[in-house]
Amino acid sequence: MSLRRRLFFPLAWLRRQIRASEFALIVLAVVIGAASGLCTVVLGALARTLQHWMFALPRGQRLSAVASLGWAPLAMLPVGGAVLSIFSWGVRSKRRRMVDAVEANALHGGRMSVPDSLVVSGQTVISNGFGASVGLEAAYAQMGGVIASVTGAALQLRRSDLRNLVGAGAGASIAAAFGAPLTGAFYAFEIVIGAYTPSAIAPIAAAAIAAVFVSQLFGAQPYIIDSLSGLPAESHHYLLYAGLGGVCALFGIALMRLVALVEQGSRMAPVPDWARPMLGGALLMPIAFWSPQVLSAGHGALHMDIAVGASLGFVALVFLAKASASIVSLGFGYRGGLFFASLFLGTLVGHLFAGVLEIIAGYPVVDPHNAAMVGMAALAVAVVGGPMTMAMLVLEATQDFALTGAVLAAALVSSTIVRETFGYSFSTWRLHLRGETIKSARDIGWIRALTVDKMMRRETRATDCEISIGEFRQRFPLGSASRVVLVNAAHHYAGIVQTPAAYADGLDPAVGVGSIAINADAALAVDMDIVTVMKRFDASGADELAVLDSDRHVVGILSESYVRRRYAEELEKAQNDLFGER
């Protein structure tokens, strides 16, 4: 037996087991979760090691918790930009642009590329390791997602199972990063899969738990915050915290738009693309010289600012500095995410909110530490999405159930405002700027895959539009064909004649048949997706439309009834996958 056949048989057996047994899928998810957790540990260790080397940090010290840094260590920021440019140049390729887990699940049925994912992770580790104000969540989710994608593709799993596994892998990585399995599970549902799918609950939960277990086995610490609350979160505070959610929504939208504007401006600047990260690093230096809290993701600064009280003026300045640092880092080409940065910025907004209320009322209205936790979640929801994800993060980080209710109220307000007024999270907003239209990870890939080329009937019988109606009647007696496609002398499309129309009373048999053709200006292209096709049918009012190539030659024909039947079939299939029919 050949080596290929020896490898094929175990994979085929595993595929049959996973398709037939939910327990087998859960076991596979546990393996993927464990591998994702290990990857998270390795990536985090690499970034922290770089930070300790570049900035000569004491053992156990977080970069964003350093009291001060001189100009010499801060020179590592533009150096990091140069290293990032060299790395990106060294791994440049002509492959399609890199796909993250959200885009993979929305458009590609969960399929991701290993080389591209390694590039994304390398760029993110370099950016964070050299101090840029970006988080590592992009690398974590990318590697967790690609582990699941490659495993599922090797086993040739169903599209729905593969998408669920990609969600499980990415969510497991986030769970490992925070030591919070519920957070990771809801991250998978809300952000990577785009829906709560009953069939995925057990695999995703199992993957998240396995990832947290593995990460803590290798020394990772859970994300625990002592909120030090002096006032309990009472029911009447919910309205105030809902207002805080609205404020965070506005800040989140402004932050995402400013990143896009700065990125556009930096690309228009008279500097080559490879120099943009270096220039960004130079711009970060004076901000970080004033406050090193703006560097890296901001974990150390978050814990420090929650534990130590500060004046409102100082908090406002730190907020502006951190926001500016994140905008510059991402706008000038550093790779990373805003998840971790939004958590830190949210705590600052919460502090400011509580302080302003106290000034207005003359006494403490809400506890500033509670407000910091609520702001942390609400701003993260505005930027990343996932209200339940952030509510679970606060619950698992503080163990405060009463506070979690207030967090959820603010998160829902923030999510609703962003969805209604802006419509995107940070990841989908960047996709939108590149020309994509997706607003979540819900699977619309099947819509794009179902093109005219796959639905049309091939047309091999086109007729000259110059023949007379009398000749047309001789060629096509009633009952021989329901419609005939016409072409002109150059073999370009000239319309469709419905055969009964040529037999109508009062027609001159000597007149050219092209005079009774319809839909000469309405046709379909081969690469149109099914939604575009249905819009074209609605606009034209036609029952059938011709399909043309780029030279307007007729290649096929498509009926509206068939298109709508196929759409209904695919939609039903997608809904069955969503609700777990195996």
Contact between 238 and 405 (Cβ < 8 Å)? yes
From residue 523, alpha-carbon distances to 354, 502, 512, 557 in Å are: 61, 21, 22, 9
Average pLDDT over residues 331-352: 91
pLDDT-based confidence at residue 3 (cuts at 50, 70, 90): very low
The predicted pLDDT at position 571 comes to 65
pLDDT in tens, 271-319: 898 999 999 999 999 999 998 889 988 777 766 555 456 788 888 999 9
Average of per-residue pLDDT across 497-505? 88
Residue 459 has a pLDDT of: 66
- What is the pLDDT, as a whole number, of residue 125? 95
Looking at 112-178, list the stretches that DSSP marks H as alpha helix, in order from N- to C-terminal side.
114-129, 137-154, 159-178
φ, ψ (nearest 5 deg) of residue 222: -65, 155
Q: Across residues 203-211, what is the average pLDDT? A: 96
Give residue 246's pLDDT band: very low, low, confident or very high (50, 70, 90). Answer: very high
Closest to 101 (Cα-Cα) out of 151, 160, 159, 170 = 170
Q: Which of 294, 243, 261 is nearest to 66 (CA)?
A: 294
**In the structure, what pLDDT confidence band is assigned to residue 227 with cuts at 50, 70 and 90?**
low
CATH H-level, domain 237-433: superfamily: Clc chloride channel (1.10.3080.10)
Q: What is the mean pLDDT of residues 218-230?
A: 69
Looking at per-residue confidence, does 33 or 521 come out higher?
33
Exposure string for 175-206, b = 16+ CB within 10 A, e = fewer:
bbbbbbbbbbbbbbbbbbbbeebebbeebbbb
Residue 293 CB partners (closer than 8 Å, separation 6+): 64, 65, 300, 301, 304, 305, 318, 321, 322
Query: CA triplet 219, 222, 228: central angle to 5 degrees?
Result: 140
What per-residue confidence (pLDDT) applies to 226?
Answer: 61
What is the mean predicted confidence (pLDDT) over 17-27?
81
Mean model confidence pLDDT for the chain? 85
Residue 435: pLDDT band with limits 50, 70, 90: low
Inform me whether the pLDDT recorded for 578 exceeds 80. Answer: no
Q: Do the two domains 11-224 and 446-573 of this chain adopt the same fold?
A: no
Predicted confidence band of residue 446 (pLDDT cuts 50, 70, 90)? low
Give the 3-state secondary structure of residue 575: helix
Give the pLDDT of residue 7.
Answer: 46
Q: Name the residue with higher pLDDT: 246 or 554.
A: 246
pLDDT digits (tens, 9 = 90+) for 359-386: 999 888 888 888 999 999 999 999 998 8
Beta-sheet strands, E only, within 199-325: none
CA distances in angstroms from 236 to 81, 242, 375, 378, 411, listed in the order given: 49, 11, 17, 18, 17
Q: What pLDDT does 1 receive?
A: 45
Q: How confident is the model at residue 124 (pLDDT cuts 50, 70, 90)?
A: very high
In the chain, domain spans: 11-224, 237-433, 446-573
pLDDT digits (tens, 9 = 90+) for 152-190: 988 888 888 898 999 999 999 999 999 999 999 999 999
Q: Are 310 and 319 in contact (CB under 8 A)?
A: no
Residue 242 pLDDT exceeds 90: yes
Pairwise CA distance, residues 260 & 566, whole Å: 39
Residue whose tokens read 């958590």: 343
Share of the chain above pLDDT 70, in %: 87
Residues 405, 402: Cα–Cα separation, whole Å: 6
Q: Quick check: 32 pLDDT over 90?
A: yes
Q: What is the pLDDT of residue 303?
A: 61
Taking 60 as the threshold, does the pLDDT of residue 398 lie above it?
Answer: yes
Burial class (CB in 10 A: 0-12, 13-18, 19+), 213: middle
Class of domain 11-224: mainly alpha
Which pLDDT score, from 0 to 100, does residue 369 have?
87
**Residue 467 confidence (pLDDT) above 60:** yes
Would you tell me which CATH number, out of the four given (3.40.50.1820, 3.40.50.300, 3.10.580.10, 3.10.129.10), belongs to the domain 446-573? 3.10.580.10
Residue 443: pLDDT band with limits 50, 70, 90: low
Which residue's structure tokens are 């000038």? 332
